Chains A and B, each alone.
Chain A
Amino acid sequence: MALELKSAEVRARLTTLLCVFACAVGAAVVLLLLLQRTSPASQWIDAGYFALGLAAAAAVAMFARLLASGRPEPRALGAPAVYRGLALATDTVSAAFFLGVTGAVFTWGHDGLAFALGLGAGILLLQLLVAPVLPRMGAGSVPELFALRYGRAPRLLAALVVVVSMAILLVAQLLAAGLVGARLLGLEFAYAVAVAGAALIACFVLRGMAGTAWVRAILFVPMLLAFLAPAVQLSGEWYGLPVPQIAYANALWQIQGLEETLLEQDLADPAVLKPMLTPFLSLNPLNFLGLVLGLAVGTASLPNVLSRHLMVQPVRAARWSAVWGLFFAALLLTAAPALAAYAKLAVLKLVADHTDLAALPAWIFTYGKLGLVEICGRAATDAAAVTAACAEVPDASGVLRLQDLTLQPDMIALAAPEITGLGHAMFGLLAAAALAAALVTSDGPLLAIAAAFGWDARAARGGAAARFAPYAIAVAAVVGAGFAAATRPAGIVTVATWAFTLAACGLFPALVAGLWWRRASAPAAVVAMGAGLGVCLFYLVGTRYFAVSFFETWQSLSSAGPTARETFAELKQAWAAAEPGAAKDAAWAVLDAHAQGIANWWGIKNLATALLALPVGIVAMVAVSLVVPRRLAAETAS
């Protein structure tokens, strides 16, 4: 009865807040559209969209604080499963995949679908294996769960995995926010990341440690609308059917036809053009499945998803919140291939029209100035730069060819409305939604990191030091992640996938065994987490940051062919022979880039690291649990 009252009370408050939120966002959008009529696409309008994103994130943070004021935990019980599902979808998709999946499908064609597939499979795995059992454990965070189930040492190791994986996820969110900031404010990427980091900290402080986590559910609605709006409009305008999930079939056939035309007309190099519908051209089957595995298992053990709002709730709500989460995530993820196909079609048409290098559309230079578009190997900052760069290419013809054009995958979703010729408002709303998503969904990783250090909502209600500590940790995490993001370590989806893979390899075997297998013991959890995290970190860091020495050490296991090995030897010699200074640095950059392509074990790319580290963790978990006597294991845990 008491629960029903709370539920009704929360629902009434939430409805009021939702109305206020919708009215405020609607009014801001109308204002921006009116302003745009007077001066289309000016820098001030773009700054307005940036402010809209900031305001939406701040509003969500404020609502979280308002809803939680007084008694945070019991109130969380009142949230209906559908809101929790929305929050789960927001956390899982987050800004990283909101922007990233479309770009991955655009660039890799069929193989980019692995990201959407992995996220969907992960939410189902969460529903099948984890969510229904979690509320029975009585924990509020992943480390607390490990402390309750296994004891102190596994708790510490779990906290380490949480900190590492969540810090990397934070880097991905800051990359997304930095990209939007750079585009809307015209800032350099590093400064845009700094602005986004400051906004992130402000939102986190505004929200407070006790803020109700599932309130971020309300953000998923604008995210979904902003993402679907361009896809729906293009489907309606181009094919007369405003259902992108069906209408984009037309675009796929047109793309297939254009790909053949470009090859026939010598506007595309067969070595560069990867037909969109043909599978396993960018990722071989092993890597495709490894990527799906890492994302799926990572989603099911992601510390920011397995947070208090999923753990402290009625068991029935836990089952259905994952179902709703999957439903909402699938709505967005199934539209991403459509948006990618429309953007791809527009780009292929641009090339097929024999577009003169002096008459390229404005969006190329807009993103070229941000270093996201290269033509003939140089940033496409303006028409003169493009013409000069292409004049140096031996077989240049004065028109744009597919092999001359390089678009960074990260920019595709953001730029899709501009690439396809939609109004500036579509772009602005998508950018504002992406920024708000990045700022709001970064709360999850920050709270998970604070909880890993023992500072959660309950601890933060203690003395002054206890109230201050979580914010200090959050600031340190954002500053560290900001510096890492400013170096652009990799694409947004790649960095987010690393975070998911680390969570998968470090936490999943011990987590699921702890929930379902009575025999699972503390020593086994320690060994499994240590081995999983160790192998995963070693492979990720080794293949990305120490590729040259990794390849030299493990070249007998590498899948590199004889030609690639010869090239490596030649580049190594060139680097050794280069004069110290800029020439040596340039030679090293070329050598390192080549090594990153061949530094692997059995051809497994670092996106598919789960294939290596997850089995190690599972075998360690089972073997040590069976080998260590139960009495000894119980003593270790206590």
Chain B
Amino acid sequence: MVDATPHRSDGTEPRDRSPRFPYLALLAWGLFAFAIPRIGQSLNVVDVAAIPLGYFMAAQGSLMAFLVIAILSARRQDGIAGAGDQ
């Protein structure tokens, strides 16, 4: 049996200044993957770059949002880990 919980090599637990971030990131994932596409019809009344917003979000907007969330998440994890696990 292997314990997958993150540990540092010196045995101390990494300090997490924003412990709610993973939950917020998953919430944002659900929002952009499911909630916003679900209301695509209603969003289509607004245009973004001349594309109806509902279509734009499903085609490009959500993918851009995923990328932003991924960058924020990776930066945060780097911050927690510091140089310990390079």
On A, residues with C-beta under 8 Å from B are: 105, 110, 113-114, 116-118, 120-121, 123-125, 127-129, 132-133, 136-138, 148-151, 245-246, 248-250, 252-253, 277-280, 285, 288-289, 292-293, 296, 314-316, 319-320, 322-323, 326-327, 330, 333-334, 337, 514-516, 518, 634, 637
Least CB distance, B35 to chain A, in whole angstroms: 9
Q: Are A136 and B66 in contact (CB under 8 A)?
A: no
Instruction: Tell me the nearest residue of chain A to B48, going by C-beta.
Output: A249
Say whether chain A's binding surface is mostly helix, strand, loop, or mixed.
helix
8 Å CB contact of B29 from A118, A125, A133, A319: A125
Least CB distance, B39 to chain A, in whole angstroms: 9
Q: Are B69 and A124 in contact (CB under 8 A)?
A: yes
Q: Are A319 and B4 in contact (CB under 8 A)?
A: no
Query: Chain B contacts of A292 at CB under 8 A?
Result: 33-34, 37
Contact residues on B (Cβ < 8 Å of other chain), bracket: 35 or more
Least CB distance, B79 to chain A, in whole angstroms: 11
Query: Chain B contacts of A249 at CB under 8 A?
Result: 49-51
1/0 contact string of B32-61 vs chain A (CB within 8 Å): 111001101100100001111011001110
Q: Are B55 and A252 in contact (CB under 8 A)?
A: yes
Q: Are A116 and B59 in contact (CB under 8 A)?
A: yes
With contacts A113-B58, A245-B60, A280-B41 taken as known, whether A316 is within 8 angstroms of B78 at the C-beta atoms is: yes
Least CB distance, A182 to chain B, in whole angstroms: 30
Query: Chain B contacts of A132 at CB under 8 A?
Result: 77
Query: Chain A contacts of B34 at CB under 8 A?
Result: 289, 292-293
Query: Chain B contacts of A113 at CB under 8 A?
Result: 37, 55, 58-59
Q: Are B54 and A110 in contact (CB under 8 A)?
A: yes
Q: Are B41 and A123 in contact (CB under 8 A)?
A: no
On B, residues with C-beta under 8 Å from A are: 1-6, 22, 25-26, 29, 32-34, 37-38, 40-41, 44, 49-52, 54-55, 58-60, 62-64, 66-67, 69-71, 73-74, 77-78, 81, 85-86
Selected A-B contacts with CB under 8 Å, 18 pairs: A117-B62, A120-B63, A121-B66, A128-B26, A129-B26, A149-B2, A249-B49, A252-B52, A252-B55, A288-B37, A292-B34, A315-B85, A316-B81, A319-B78, A326-B67, A330-B63, A330-B66, A337-B60
With contacts A319-B78, A323-B71 taken as known, whether A121 is within 8 angstroms of B32 at the C-beta atoms is: yes
Instruction: Tell me the nearest residue of chain A to B84, going by C-beta.
Output: A315
Query: Chain B contacts of A285 at CB under 8 A?
Result: 38
Top 8 nearest A-B pairs (CB, nearest first) are A249-B50, A121-B33, A113-B58, A124-B66, A279-B40, A337-B59, A120-B63, A319-B74
Instruction: Tell me the nearest residue of chain B to A633, going by C-beta.
Output: B1
Interchain CA distance A54-B32 in the complex, whole Å: 39
With contacts A110-B40, A128-B29, A289-B37 taken as known, whether A250 is within 8 angstroms of B50 at the C-beta atoms is: yes
Interchain CA distance A252-B1 in the complex, whole Å: 55
Most chain A beta carbons < 10 A, residue from B51, B64, B73, B78: B51
Q: Are B81 and A315 in contact (CB under 8 A)?
A: yes
With contacts A149-B4, A514-B4, A515-B4 taken as known, whether A128 is within 8 angstroms of B32 at the C-beta atoms is: no
Q: Are A136 and B6 in contact (CB under 8 A)?
A: yes
Most chain A beta carbons < 10 A, residue from B40, B58, B69, B85: B58
Least CB distance, B9 to chain A, in whole angstroms: 11
With contacts A249-B50, A315-B81, A323-B74 taken as known, whether A138 is within 8 angstroms of B3 at the C-beta atoms is: no
Query: Chain A contacts of B71 at CB under 8 A?
Result: 323
